[in-house]
Amino acid sequence: MNLEKSLSLLSFFVYHIHHRTMRSQRFLHVLLMLFLVSGISAQETRQLSAEAEALLQCLKDIEGVKTLSGTMANVNWNINEAKWVHQHTGKWPALNCFDYIHHPFSKKGGWIDYTNVTEVYNWHRQGGVVAIMWHWNVPTNDGNDYTCTPGTGAGETSFDVRKIFEPESDEYKLMMKDLDTIISYLKLLKQRKIPVLWRPLHEAGGQWFWWGMNAEACNELWRVMYQRFQDAGLNNLIWVWTTAAAWNKPYSDGYKWYPGDEYVDIVSIDVYNKSNAATIYRTCYKFLKNSSPDKLVALTECGSVPTISKQWQAGSKWLFFVPWYDYDRTKDPNSEDFQSTDHNNCNAAWWTEAFSNDYVLSREDFKQELQTSINAVRTEQTFAPSGSYDLFGCPWTDGRRGIFIKNGKKYIRK
């Protein structure tokens, strides 16, 4: 809704509130509040941290021209796959994705400790992009373990995502408790000025995770998460949504699980065991571009797929790509298995070929791209020039820090 239409409708409501009876006034007051709330989107009210804003702008700058290479942590909280790629190619991938999969077991000083962010911080400090996903595990039906796989078996879960609409239910309370736990972890990264590509509730449309068992409820859960994270001050997140479709369903079916443009920055897909680059372009990349023309498009997981150059030449100009991990190959960087160039998803030859293309960015390459992007559209200021506005359209006052806009360009004052 543009400003002119908004003001016109607002004037209409104010006029009629003034001229109606008391009962009508109360009714129109409600309509006015609904109008004001609905007219402000989540994206319009969000103010990203300077670091997240710079990262997002850089990603927009390179879209369709270059692509970030990426690796997935071996299960949870490490850069083992990135180390393996570096060992066999001499280059570090630009992005590493971590996973909060073991949050029920995380304990300070324990075998998994998500409060220890040393690995993530070091990756960021060396110029790497940090992505985090969340295999959201909940108690199994027998109460002896945790899982994200729905079903009635003892080791599966009957956890009902529809309870997101019932704040008094045990499921709702557990969801809020878990969200607050994840907030506490992400705040540790915010405190260190680390922007995060945040990928929750992935592949919901496939309905092989409990959160995907009902589309309406899953979308509500995403929006509740988004707002709860916003309220907690997590302005360092760039939100990544991953589509999927259940067996024998068209990919378009996956968009039933789409929470809305205002809650998503990047749309993505996971591709496995497809050998034809043209098919990947037509059914995956082009599909996402057509479905979400205003969003960046990424390949968030892949395995046993054509080389990046073949995909690129076919038209799939992914923002970034992330081969899935090979557990046995990279679980122990000191093992003999780690020395092998074989890999269940993308072997060393696949990676060597990827880095032979100048549009595939390594970690070092991306550091330069990020700096170039910052220099191009954001000049550090020691004062706020007249005629400047903040991201909400309010005049900028001298002495403030953050992002301001001058003549259509964004600047950072630190």
The percentage of residues in the chain with a pLDDT greater than 90, rounded to a whole number, is 77
365 pLDDT above the threshold of 50: yes
Q: What is the mean pLDDT of residues 324-352?
A: 98
In this predicted model, what pLDDT tens digit does every residue of 149-162 receive, in sequence order?
A: 999 999 999 999 99
Which residue would you say has higher pLDDT here, 353 or 392? 353
322 pLDDT above the threshold of 70: yes
Q: How far apart are CA 265 and CA 224, in angstroms?
A: 16
Q: What is the pLDDT of residue 262?
A: 96
393 pLDDT above the threshold of 60: no
Q: How far apart are CA 245 and CA 322, in angstroms?
A: 20
Amino acid making up residue 243: T
Q: What is the pLDDT of residue 401?
A: 53
Q: What is the mean pLDDT of residues 57-74?
A: 97
Give the pLDDT band of residue 145 (cuts 50, 70, 90): very high
47 pLDDT above the threshold of 90: no
190 pLDDT above the threshold of 50: yes
Is 203 among the catalytic positions? yes
Q: How far apart are CA 176 and CA 67, in angstroms?
A: 36
Q: What is the pLDDT of residue 310?
A: 98
In this predicted model, what pLDDT tens digit does every residue of 215-225 receive, in sequence order?
A: 999 999 999 99
Q: Catalytic one among 203, 216, 262, 336?
A: 203
On average, the pLDDT of the chain sits at: 87
Predicted TM-score (pTM) of the model is 0.83
395 pLDDT above the threshold of 90: no
Q: How far apart are CA 46 and CA 237, in angstroms?
A: 10
In this predicted model, what pLDDT tens digit does every residue of 283-318 receive, in sequence order?
A: 999 999 999 999 999 999 999 999 999 999 999 999
Q: What is the pLDDT of residue 45?
A: 66
Q: What is the pLDDT of residue 289?
A: 98
Q: What are the tokens at 62?
A: 């390179």
What are the backbone angles phi and psi of residue 399, rounded to the nearest 5°? 100, -15
Q: Catalytic one among 51, 53, 81, 301?
A: 301
Q: How far apart are CA 69 and CA 360, in angstroms?
A: 6
Burial 313-336 (b: 16+ CB within 10 A, else e): ebebbbbbbbbbbbeebbeebeee
Q: What are the tokens at 169?
A: 């239910």
Give the pLDDT band of residue 102 (cuts 50, 70, 90): very high
Angle at 258 between CA 104 and CA 193, to 5 degrees: 55
Q: What is the pLDDT of residue 42?
A: 61
CB 120 within 8 A of CB 98: yes
Q: What is the pLDDT of residue 209?
A: 98
How distant, in Å, are the alpha carbons of 28, 38, 39, 76, 390 from that of 5? 18, 13, 10, 48, 22
CB 188 within 8 A of CB 229: no
278 pLDDT above the threshold of 90: yes
Angle at 312 between CA 308 and CA 316, to 5 degrees: 105
260 pLDDT above the threshold of 70: yes
What are the backbone angles phi and psi of residue 316, rounded to the nearest 5°? -85, 85
What are the backbone angles phi and psi of residue 303, rounded to the nearest 5°? -170, 140
Q: What is the pLDDT of residue 46?
A: 81
In this predicted model, what pLDDT tens digit does every residue of 158-185 receive, in sequence order?
A: 999 999 999 999 999 999 999 999 999 9
17 pLDDT above the threshold of 70: no
In this predicted model, what pLDDT tens digit does every residue of 371-386 receive, in sequence order?
A: 887 776 544 444 445 5
